[in-house]
Every structure is written in structure tokens, then in C-alpha cells.
Amino acid sequence: AQRVTQPEKLLSVFKGAPVELKCNYSYSGSPELFWYVQYSRQRLQLLLRHISRESIKGFTADLNKGETSFHLKKPFAQEEDSAMYYCALYEKGAQKLVFGQGTRLTINP
């Protein structure tokens, strides 16, 4: 079965420190991966897509097929980055997103 694993439920770092939110996946084909973010009292929204290789709000994520990982990184955390972060895999056959359990990121001042 396709699976997305986010090993850390909680992650706390200080402002200005680097951040890395881990995501590992299992998928038999060529994966399509996403990071979604949910700020307090806001809806779940797309942060970035691996296919576009973009940087959004200073975050980047690189697909590592050898390690089956798609970790989210930011070199200098800001307080407004505090949120829930979900890694998601697009399951092509079923045409659906499969989500990890999420990581709550807290940036301390």
C-alpha cells in the first residue's frame, strides 16, 4: 500500500534556526509529492509541489528517490512559519492524495 510517513508529530526550533520536516514515502511508481500547510484557524493549503522545484516562503523540498524521502527545509525559520505541515503523495491509479499524519512546527522567539 502507498504510504506517507512523517516521523515527527511535533517539532520546535528557535527563530533564525534551520528547519527540516521529514517525510518518507512508499510508492511503486514515479511519485508526485506535495507539502500542504495549515496555519492556525486557516484552511489546508498547498505549500509546494516537487514537480515544480520551487521555493515558497523560503521553503524547499527535494525528492530523493534513493531514500524515498521528500523532506521540507528552510534555512532560517520565522515565527510565522508555525503551523501544521502535511506531506502528501498523489496516488495516480486511485487519483487521490494520500497524506502523512502531519508535523506541528513551532517557532520559538
Partner 1 sequence: EAGVVQSPRYKIIEKKQPVAFWCNPISGHNTLYWYRQNLGQGPELLIRYENEEAVDDSQLPKDRFSAERLKGVDSTLKIQPAELGDSAVYLCASSSRLLSSSNYGYTFGSGTRLTVV
Which residue in 34, 70, 77, 107 binds partner 1 (CB under 8 A)?
34
Q: Which is nearer to partner 1, 52 or 66 (CB)?
A: 52
Q: Is 49 in the site for partner 1 (CB under 8 A)?
A: yes
Q: How far is the CB of 37 from partner 1 (least distance, A)?
A: 11
Query: 38: closest CA among 93, 100, 92?
Result: 100
3-state SS, residue 95? coil
3-state SS, residue 86? strand
How many CB atoms are closer than 10 A to CB 44?
14
Query: Which range binds partner 1 by CB under 8 A, 14-22, 36-44, 56-64, 65-73?
Result: 36-44
